[in-house]
């Protein structure tokens, strides 16, 4: 991740997560086998929303009323150590920062583990938590209480005004005045991890290519082949600076015939190498940066700018800049506005051409 997002600290939409915290920790995890479920066990706001959805004839799916009772009944059959285990799993899965950094004893809890514990509970919760994000948060009766995800997005991209996807640095993020918006990605996939489908610290706007072509349902904190935990960038790690170095090598010195297979991309960090390796793998970074370098409208055009366009300038311009100075000027300008039109790749591309004697 090239740069972190700044988290929007205050928005009414976070209220839904607060209701779910209260439900899980203070209703389900305290379910008394001697006390039958009653909707009056719910906190008042959640009770009102649950009843409003249940009695709204326009809403044909029972998103809350029945599922909440069925899960309560399952929890009634658990002993206290099991309830405590699930309460800790809930807290851990909502601590996305510590999960990404593998710190403070925070341990991820997955649906596969939940299925081993109690398959009916797993089946109830996977439907319940998915529906919170795909359906419940979009219901008007809910929006009247907590606002809309579109409003949150507008505030988000107003604060995070780079208008560039930090997961690739290549594609734009739509601004607040568009009629459509980019999707929020579940950084820890909602198909794998229970409890955090509406936790906005696990939700981050992402360009369509990153979201739908590369990350998909990939798990950033567990290696899919070895199933070993790994560090990942936390999308809102605003307080911790890190450096990512991008180095290029061309195995073919002829820019006109340079292909993706001729480009070597080396991504390193003096402090966050494991996070960089995870980011590179999950978002297909190497192949995308290679394509940029070999593209006719990117790398090959940058070469033309540095050579042919300079050759075509009037002599009085060439008296001001030598070609080497002209190229350095291009590199400096690209570095001043890194994320405009792939400038961070452009600067490295031109530096590589110079260092290899291509220009």
Residue 201 near residue 96 (C-beta atoms within 8 A): yes
Q: Would you state the torsion angle of the CA atoms of residues 254, 260, 266, 272, taken in this order, to the nearest 10 degrees? A: 150
Q: Which pLDDT value is given to residue 67?
A: 98
Per-residue H/E/C for the chain: CCCCCCCCCCCHHHHHHHHHHHHHHHHHHHCCCCCCCCHHHCCHHHHHHHHHHHCCCCCCCCCCHHHHHHHHHHHHCCCHHHHHHHHHHHHHHCCHHHHHHCCCCCCCCCHHHHHHHCHHHHHHHHHHHHHHHHCHHHCHHHHHHHCCHHHHHHHHHHHCCCCECCCCCCCECCCCCCCCCCCEEECCCCCCCCCCCCCCCCEEECCHHHHHHHHCCCCCCECCCCCCECCCCCCCCCCCCCCCEEEEEECCCCHHHCCHHHEEEEEECCCCHHHHHHHHHHCCHHHHHHHHHHCCCCHHHHHHHHCHHHHCCCHHHHHHCCHHHHHHHHHHHHHHCCCCCCHHHHHHHHHHHHHCCCC
Residue 88 and residue 353: Cα distance in Å, rounded?
54
Average pLDDT, the chain: 96
Q: Which residue has tokens 């798990």?
A: 219
pLDDT tens readout for residues 300-346: 999 999 998 888 888 887 788 888 998 999 999 999 999 999 999 99
Residue 205 near residue 182 (C-beta atoms within 8 A): yes
Q: Taking 90 as the threshold, does the pLDDT of residue 238 lie above it? A: no
pLDDT tens readout for residues 116-154: 999 999 999 999 999 999 999 999 999 999 999 999 999
pLDDT tens readout for residues 21-51: 999 999 999 999 999 999 999 999 999 999 9
Residue 284 and residue 292: Cα distance in Å, rounded?
13
Q: Which pLDDT value is given to residue 73?
A: 98
Distance of CA 166 to the CA centre of its chain: 9
Residue 288 and residue 234: Cα distance in Å, rounded?
22
**Which residues are CB-neighbours of 323 under 8 A, at least 6 positions away?**
306, 307, 310, 359
Q: Which pLDDT value is given to residue 348?
A: 98
Q: Which pLDDT value is given to residue 3?
A: 96
**For range 191-211, the mean pLDDT:** 97
pLDDT tens readout for residues 68-113: 999 999 999 999 999 999 999 999 999 999 999 999 999 999 999 9
> What percent of the chain stands above pLDDT 90?
92
pLDDT tens readout for residues 256-307: 999 999 999 999 999 999 999 999 999 999 999 999 999 999 999 999 999 9
Q: Which pLDDT value is given to residue 317?
A: 76
CB atoms inside a 10 Å sphere around CB 308: 9
Residue 324 and residue 300: Cα distance in Å, rounded?
18
Cα end-to-end span (Å), the chain: 31
Nearest CA among 147, 16, 176, 20 for reference residue 90: 20
**For range 173-197, the mean pLDDT:** 95
Distance of CA 24 to the CA centre of its chain: 25
Q: Which residues pair with 247 in a beta bridge?
A: 266
Q: Which pLDDT value is given to residue 313?
A: 80
Residue 186 and residue 233: Cα distance in Å, rounded?
14
Q: Which residues pair with 185 in a beta bridge?
A: 204
């Amino acid at each position: 991740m090239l740069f972190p997002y700044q988290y929007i600290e205050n928005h009414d939409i976070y209220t839904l997560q607060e209701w779910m915290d209260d439900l899980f920790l203070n209703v389900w995890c305290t379910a008394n086998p001697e006390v039958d479920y009653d909707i009056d066990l719910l906190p008042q706001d959640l009770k009102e929303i649950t009843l409003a959805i249940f009695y709204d004839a326009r809403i044909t799916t029972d998103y809350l009323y029945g599922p909440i009772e069925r899960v309560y009944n399952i929890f009634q059959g658990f002993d206290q150590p099991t309830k405590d285990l699930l309460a800790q799993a809930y807290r851990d899965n909502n601590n996305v920062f510590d999960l990404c950094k593998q710190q403070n004893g925070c341990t991820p809890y997955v649906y596969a583990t939940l299925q081993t514990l109690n398959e009916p509970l797993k089946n109830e919760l996977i439907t319940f938590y998915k529906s919170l994000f795909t359906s419940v948060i979009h219901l008007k009766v809910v929006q009247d209480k907590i606002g809309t995800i579109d409003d949150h997005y507008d505030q988000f991209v107003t604060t995070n005004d780079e208008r560039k996807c930090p997961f690739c640095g290549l594609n734009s993020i739509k601004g607040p005045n568009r009629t459509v918006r980019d999707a929020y990605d579940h950084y820890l996939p909602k198909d794998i991890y229970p409890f955090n489908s509406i936790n906005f610290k696990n939700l981050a706007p992402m360009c369509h290519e990153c979201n739908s072509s590369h990350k998909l349902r990939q798990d950033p904190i567990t290696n899919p082949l070895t199933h070993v935990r790994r560090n990942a960038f936390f999308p809102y790690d605003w307080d911790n600076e890190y450096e990512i170095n991008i180095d290029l090598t061309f195995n073919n010195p002829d820019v006109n015939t340079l292909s993706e297979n001729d480009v070597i991309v080396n991504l390193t960090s003096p402090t966050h190498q494991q996070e960089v390796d995870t980011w590179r793998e999950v978002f297909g970074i190497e192949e995308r940066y290679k394509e940029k370098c070999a593209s006719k409208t990117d790398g090959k055009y940058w070469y033309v700018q540095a050579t042919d366009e300079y050759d075509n300038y009037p002599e009085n311009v060439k008296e001001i800049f030598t070609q080497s100075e002209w190229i350095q000027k291009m590199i400096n300008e690209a570095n001043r506005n890194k994320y405009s039109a792939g400038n961070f790749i452009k600067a490295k591309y031109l530096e590589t051409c110079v260092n290899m004697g291509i220009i």
